[in-house]
Structure 1
């Protein structure tokens, strides 16, 4: 019988792939962490993100859309603001999936995106409901003034 300490043992497949597997594992975690941070910066979970990320993006989208028609500046800016918040929630969801998923298994990106858009939309509707029923108060922006007319801002078909 040969001594197991003196005779070379063949390496198993798992042992030979361990350095690459470990490196891939940490790169995946780093990538997922980066997605979480970027998503947090865009999401409505951070109170200061609007000034630095969401409003400039929304204004830029509205500005570009205003080249098509000046009347669509505000709707495009609102859509850009909503999209930046949705993108933040989706990026956080994808990043957390990368960080917490231990095994390399097939992921259904379409299913994950649909779930993210659905949960983000439900979040938006919940916030609107809280504001509508005065559970969540908003700052007084002077919108209660009778001189303010939402129709004047969103006059798509009229000649202002």
Structure 2
């Protein structure tokens, strides 16, 4: 195997690992990865537009899930041989399926925000006083 092919497989492996970490395929990913990333993005956004915390949280959470699926598929494809890579396509149908799964998870997050389980930092401080 030449160096360039090895580098491409290594790059694909890294993409697939990052994709797996971001995708909702593991039980721990939401608690330790996606929710903190989405929460941080929404918190920063809420500093400027406080009323849009939930919207920013939902969009950020959905984006991390979809990005995870896309990186996982693209990364795995890069690690396969050329013949196998041609058999594994990631088209619109796959993307829409990944989006639908991500939307289901996002719906659960919306419920948590609506029930005030997830709030901006500022509001937690107000509750603690």
Flag whether TM exceeds 0.5 (same fold).
yes
Q: Does 1:99 align with 2:79?
A: yes
- Quick check: 1:41–1:49 contact (8 Å CA) kept in 2? yes
**What per-residue deviation string (whole Å, max 9, x for no partner) do you get for residues 98-127 of structure 1?**
111427x9xxxxx957555423223345x4
Determine the C-alpha separation between the residues in 2 that align with 1:81 and 1:37. 18
Answer with 38-47 or 73-82: which moved more.
73-82
- Report the structure number with the largest CA radius of gyration: 1
Moved over 4 A (4+): 111-116
In the alignment, what sits opposite 1:120? Answer: 98
Matched with 1:52 is 32
Q: Does 1:70 align with 2:50?
A: yes
Mark the runs of 5 or more structure 2 residues left unpaired by the alignment: 117-129
What is the alpha-carbon distance in structure 2 between the residues aligned to residue 88 and residue 112 of structure 1? Answer: 13
Q: Judge conservation of contact 1:39–1:89 (CA < 8 Å) in 2.
A: yes
Query: Offset of 1:48 from its aligned partner?
Result: 0.3
Greater helix content: 2
TM-score when normalising by structure 1: 0.56
Please report how far the alpha carbon of residue 81 of structure 1 lies from its aligned counterpart in structure 2 after TM superposition: 0.9
Q: Calculate the aligned-residue CA RMSD, in Å.
A: 3.1
CA contact (8 A) 2:66 2:102 kept: no
Question: Aligned residues, how many?
Answer: 107
1:97 Cα offset (Å): 1.4
Specify every segment of 5 or more residues in structure 1 that has no aligned partner in the other structure, as ranges: 1-20, 106-110, 132-137, 144-149, 153-160
